[in-house]
Amino acid sequence: MAAKQGTSVRIAILVFPFAPPSIFTLARKMALVVGPVSTHTTVVSGGMPSDFSWPCGVQIRDIGVRLHYLKETQPRWLSTMLWIAKFVWAQILLARHVYELRHETDIVICSVGCYYQLPILMARVLGMKLVCAALGLDSLSARVSYGDVMATVMSLLMRFNFALSHVVLVESLRLGTYSDVAPFRSKLYNGALFLEDLDRFSVRSTVEERERLVGYIGRLQTEKGVMEFLHAIPLALEQRPDLRFLIVGAGTLDEAIMETVQGKPWASRLTWLKWVDHDQVPGYLNQLKLIVIPSYSEGLPNLALEAMGCGTPVLASCVGGIPDLVTDGETGFMLRDNSPRAIAEAMVRAMDDTRLGIITQQARARVEQEYSFGAATRRYQAIIRAIS
């Protein structure tokens, strides 16, 4: 079914039912920004929380399946088999829902991850317009965490999706230089979303008023560079023994972090909180004098937007769309690489910068101008017009 003329269309947003609940927050943002041009919006996913707040008028379809974290079930081989079974079944169910929506959908948006092969095929057979979001680069993350074989599989899945899509959304057009995306550069559009609550993620205390506390907030996984951050702590303390450190998060590296920290003389300088409610994140960000994002792969990390909104300087890897946000010495600080030595040196450099107050003001201004709800809505209106 071809999209009807004009800019008012009917849109279905597919969200592959991964375990992290953050997938639903992203889908809600996408539903909000397409709202002004969509006469009927449907979100299709699995295992949605019953108390999750969706935009008014959005139809929700729950396929009844949600993937689990592999470590949740033992033995590991059984967990893996269950995960694969859920993966295949979720694709079949998503494809079935696309078929059922054939008379009330013009555009299908695949929003998170690269596991949409069956629903993509169904949408193309039915003549729907197809938008595939590359929010991050799954193959790069897979290479760091699981090795070259898994990275190759992820790369093939991504390229399959992009080849059949009419539009490929990236969080930054800089991602067009990566090998998995470059062949489809003519289809690329900037699909960066927005900081959902600028009032909540606001400056409560100026950076000059804060203690010398450096933080990492996020999933504890290999591709996030958290172990490199951890190994940088004693190196930074050699130069600045007054620094303190905070890690907020949990993940597959929990045991490795515990083993690394246990018995170390610098352990007393580190606080580790495995979980905090997202409503508490602005408070923690307002305590930090610096937040570090040492990832191997990123799209446009929401944490960076939240930190910049709170007036917290960001020190980040030069990957993905981060350079769109962080200009070294102007709106934050950039790592030359994410080795422990480089992270330690950059942390000390950032903490000693006398222009931190100006940098944080410029960082918040960038978020307000380029990553507000209005800016994201204009981006998505242009994308919908381009394929309608």
User: Is the link from the previous residue into 183 a cis peptide, with omega within 30 of 0?
Assistant: no
Give the 3-state secondary structure of 96-128.
Answer: HHHHHCCCCCCEEEECCCCCCHHHHHHHHHCCC
pLDDT tens, per residue, the chain with 388 residues: 444 444 569 999 999 998 778 889 889 999 999 999 999 999 999 998 888 899 999 999 999 999 877 666 678 788 889 989 999 999 999 999 999 999 999 999 999 778 899 999 999 999 999 999 876 566 566 666 667 787 888 889 989 999 999 999 998 888 888 888 899 999 999 999 999 889 999 999 999 999 999 999 999 999 999 999 999 999 999 999 999 999 999 988 999 999 999 999 999 999 999 999 989 999 999 999 999 999 998 888 999 999 999 999 999 999 888 999 999 999 999 999 999 999 999 999 999 999 999 999 999 999 999 999 999 999 999 999 889 8
Q: Please write the tens of the pLDDT for every residue from 116-139.
A: 999 999 999 999 999 998 765 665
Please tell me the predicted confidence (pLDDT) of residue 2: 42
φ, ψ (nearest 5 deg) of residue 35: -50, -45
What is the SS3 assignment for 214? strand
The answer to whether 286 touches 204, Cβ cutoff 8 Å, is yes
DSSP helix/strand/coil, 326:
coil
Q: In this predicted model, what pLDDT tens digit does every residue of 310-337 receive, in sequence order?
A: 999 999 999 888 999 999 999 999 999 9
CATH of domain 9-194+372-387: 3.40.50.2000
pLDDT value, residue 144: 63
The reported pLDDT for the residue numbered 5 is 43
The pLDDT > 70 percentage for the chain reads: 94
The burial class, CB within 10 Å (0-12 / 13-18 / 19+), for 85 is exposed
Q: Which two structure tokens, joined as six digits, stand for 266? A: 């610098």
**CA proximity to 40, closest of 61, 21, 27, 58:** 58
DSSP letter for each residue of 27-56: HHHHHHHHGGGEEEEEEEESS--TT----T
* Paired tokens of 253: 């590296």
According to the model, what pLDDT value does residue 72 have? Answer: 65
Domain with residues 207-370, CATH architecture: 3-Layer(aba) Sandwich (3.40)
Contact yes or no for 45/131 (Cβ under 8 A): no
Domain with CATH 3.40.50.2000 in the chain: 9-194+372-387, 207-370
